[in-house]
Structure 1
């Protein structure tokens, strides 16, 4: 009975032990000293999606991965890298889903073409029915 209780307790305590004791990344919640660099960082962070929250940008999210991503953006801007290069690196690392501004490529073109085709088909059906009436 004691073994069963110990096993149940260990399973229930495991998530609490999984919490990270590591501190936040240095630039996760600290603004850059140069206001123009911070403005560039904020503008870029507002266009990148948090992988954990999925409906928030990394600027708005409190998730640890969003803090790490904010740190990456700020440290790269501080190093003089262009925001579009940082965006490209983030998309390469995390995938197209991270960007709120999707690009047309081999895997995403149906997302752009199918709605237009459906709209044209609906307009064609509407026009045909109105012509008959």
Structure 2
């Protein structure tokens, strides 16, 4: 029983390594290591938030092969990343750089929260500064009492 449990745990741990098929592996260990490093930072366009190194999707396989093809052609790591970003956009990066569009996406919720808090504070302080309803004068209270008395008598 213990051996079965150990085998199941090892199989679960090894599943990300199964995504890269044997026919994809490069003969040069240094190039293969670079390809694996690059693949771990690239997003599978089919499987959200999963790297192409971990994904079994066909498109992820195509991207892994494209990375290896570019490395064999002599591209640097930066050139491979630039090529893929030019082709697929920054979405292909698991950790995109902090640029205008990504800063806007990260900053918008905070800006909206601060704006909402400002509106709430302005509303509450405006309520405090609003003129309070004035009470009835003594003459008006006497007239009101007389009217209510007349109504209850009738």
Q: TM-score over 0.5 for the alignment?
A: yes
Residue 118 of structure 1 deviates from its aligned partner by 8.4
Whether contact under 8 Å (2:49, 2:94) holds in the other structure is no
CA distance in 2, matches of 1:74, 1:96: 20
Measure how far apart 1:98 and its partner are.
Answer: 1.2
**C-alpha deviation, 1:55, in angstroms:** 2.5
Instruction: Please list the CA deviations of residues 71-126 of structure 1 after superposition, one character each: whole Å capped at 9, or x if unmatched.
Output: 1000111111011111111111111111012112232222344577689x6xxxxx
More RCO (CA 8 Å, sep 6+): 1
1:66 aligned to 60, 71, 79, which one? 60
**Structure 1 counterpart of 2:32:** 38
Contact 2:39-2:67 at 8 Å conserved across structures: yes
Q: Higher helix proportion, which one? A: 2
Q: For the structure 1 residues 108 and 100, does the alpha-carbon distance in structure 2 shift closer, same or farther, using more than 3 Å as the test?
A: same
CA distance in 1, matches of 2:88, 2:22: 18
- Return the offset for 1:29: 4.1
Aligned-partner SS, 2:24: coil
Which runs of at least 4 in structure 1 moved beyond 6 Å after TM superposition?
Answer: 115-119
Matched, 1:49 2:58: no
Unmatched runs of 5 consecutive residues or more in structure 1: 1-26, 122-133
- Aligned-residue Cα RMSD (Å) equals 2.5
Could you tell me the TM-score, scaled by structure 1's length?
0.61
Q: Could you give the per-residue CA deviations for residues 41-69 of structure 1, whole angstroms, max 9, x where no partner exists?
A: 00000000100111211111111111110
In 1, the alpha carbon distance for the partners of 2:23 and 2:52 equals 11
- Aligned pair count reads 96
Q: Which runs of 5+ in 2 are unaligned?
A: 1-20, 115-154
